[in-house]
Amino acid sequence: MKIYALGTHSDWVYNGGAWGRPGQQRIADLTYAAGIRRLYWRTHNGGQAKYPSKVCRVSDGAVYRDPNFQGLGTLPKSYFAYAQYLDYREWDQVADMGEIGTKVGLEVCHWYTVFEDDHGGHLASDFLLAHPKYRCTLKNGEQVPGCLDFWYPEVRAYKLAIFSELLEKPASRVLLDFLRRNGRPSADAAGNFRYGFNPEILGGFRAEAGLDARKIEPGSADWEAWLDYNARPLTEFLREAKRLAAARSVPLDLLTWAVDTRRWQAMDIAGMAREGLFENLLTGTQSYAYSAANAREQVTQMREVLGDTAVSVLPGLFAYSQIPPLAVDDFAGAAEALHCPAFVLHEANHVIECPISDRLRAWSYGKPHAVREVTATLAGEPTKVYGGFIKAHDVENTPCDQLTEFFVSYTPQELIVTVICHENNPSALLPVPGLGTDNYNANALKARAFWNPYESVHVFLDVHHSHEDYHHFILDPAGEKQAERRMDEDWAGAWDGTAEIASDRWTTTFSLPWKTWGITPESGRIIGFQIVRVQNAPREVSAWFCATARRLNPLDFGHLKFL
């Protein structure tokens, strides 16, 4: 399962990036490390460019420096305090991301919000302000702020000029976003297209069809003709965009709501697909949902719209800062079951906001949470040996330098976890280097005491499977042991452990009494489970389940099931 993402520079900077090329490098590195391989990078915010454009107004932060600007909705004041310094007039961050991201290994694409000429009422394009008659118009004559109607040749020419400018910048493909319309949906509460009532458009339709669109009832044959009339200019626009992109061998993708686009947007997606005008259809829903049911709804709806065309539907998660790792499992699992080649994360800075890097990496490596399960058998019965460890800080999914295996059994009194660490140089394991007796941070403050950077095996158990808590047990080759509870380094429950060194391996055995947790190991019970191996030579951290950090999130553990 591939993972693609949309990304916005200003959002990344606010949530953990930095201005300039060092910030771009950090964004690219974190995105790639999360398992994302295609990044659609935003080129415009509203009607303003996030690069030094020669065609349209450049976003320079001026609106946020205006003392009369009051902000928007529930966004924090800190956002606007920092946004006033984001000036894209002197730095082409779009071109920089194309260069830096490509070197990292990302397929960097342009993401152009083509329908949007404002964003919340404060990022309007000069073209929009200069040509109010081109704005989308409702039946009552109300003009929709921030939205231009593509029926006008002048609007299409303006958008194609921007599109041509983007083709001059490095990118592997272009995504045209037909979803965003400055927060004003193109359909009414019944799902019927509600734009197109500009005087010129009404006059053109009357001249062609002899009908007054203001008097047509939705659902009638005349209404279908009205939808076709409004859909035609968008198809013409996309044909010309396709011609310009094809001249540079740049493919096009589209982004829309997962709706009946013809009825909802007066947009003939099926016809465009039959003409081969785009390759992938990225989708989103009208609510910020990320369940398995939501993924199925997106794919099913859009496949009905596309019919038997060859276009791939790529469902998207619109949860913003609320995506739990387990929800990624559900959503991605549903997309995989529907044979989608990828799912899309909206926006990429989720990897540091949520965080969900480990779960995304698991899916990109084909090792999702749902299938990472091991079993514990009663002591004395045959046990299964498990391996498949993953380098914690490797973004290429290369094999670990040394093999690690384990098996799990239990008695009515305790859980027994045996970890076999294959070792090229066992004689170098002892003595185990420590943090030093004169290390005040380590000894007096216990800083990093539970993450000795030398040879050790770490077992994590979320015994109550709450996805919130864990107990952490450590053994090194000398048999020295430590334990803690999440957020409680002074925890001192009963347990034991041993270590043995052989000619080609060292083996740890963790004996963990059930009375420590006050539970019994009944058949069918599932607990959260993770094993991490830390090596000094080669210097490597590996884990049975995907992990990019040493302080682990119990939401990202695998499963241990009792037989």
- For residue range 100-153, list pLDDT tens digits in order: 999 999 999 999 999 999 988 889 999 999 999 999 999 999 999 899 999 999
Helix (H) / strand (E) element for 308: namely: none
Other Cβ atoms less than 10 A from the Cβ of 234: the count is 23
Per-residue pLDDT tens over the stretch 219-260: 999 999 999 999 999 999 999 999 999 999 999 999 999 999
List the domain boundaries for the chain. 2-353, 369-562
Per-residue pLDDT tens over the stretch 45-100: 999 999 999 999 999 999 988 888 876 665 667 788 888 999 999 999 999 999 99
Among 194-203, 421-430, 447-456, the range scoring the smallest mean pLDDT is 447-456
Question: The tokens of 7 are what?
Answer: 């990304």
Question: The tokens of 422 are what?
Answer: 């294959």
Is the pLDDT confidence value at 322 over 80?
A: no
What is 369-562's CATH number, 3.30.70.270, 2.60.120.200, 2.60.40.1190, 3.60.21.10? 2.60.40.1190
Per-residue model confidence (pLDDT) at position 522: 87
**Global pTM?**
0.87
| Per CATH, domain 2-353 is 3.20.20.80 | yes
Is the pLDDT confidence value at 447 over 70?
A: no
Per-residue model confidence (pLDDT) at position 129: 96
Other Cβ atoms less than 10 A from the Cβ of 345: the count is 29
Nearest to 215 by CA among 226, 231, 228, 204: 226
The letter for the amino acid at 554 is P
Angle value at C-alpha 391, between 491 and 417, nearest 5 degrees: 45
Give the residue with greater pLDDT, 345 vs 394: 345
Is the pLDDT confidence value at 450 over 90?
A: no
Give the residue with greater pLDDT, 358 vs 44: 44
How far apart are the C-alpha atoms of 168 and 351, rounded to whole Å?
30
How far apart are the C-alpha atoms of 196 and 330, rounded to whole Å?
39
What are the DSSP E strand ranges found in 395-452?
404-410, 414-422
Q: What is the mean pLDDT of the chain?
A: 91
Is the pLDDT confidence value at 440 over 50?
A: no
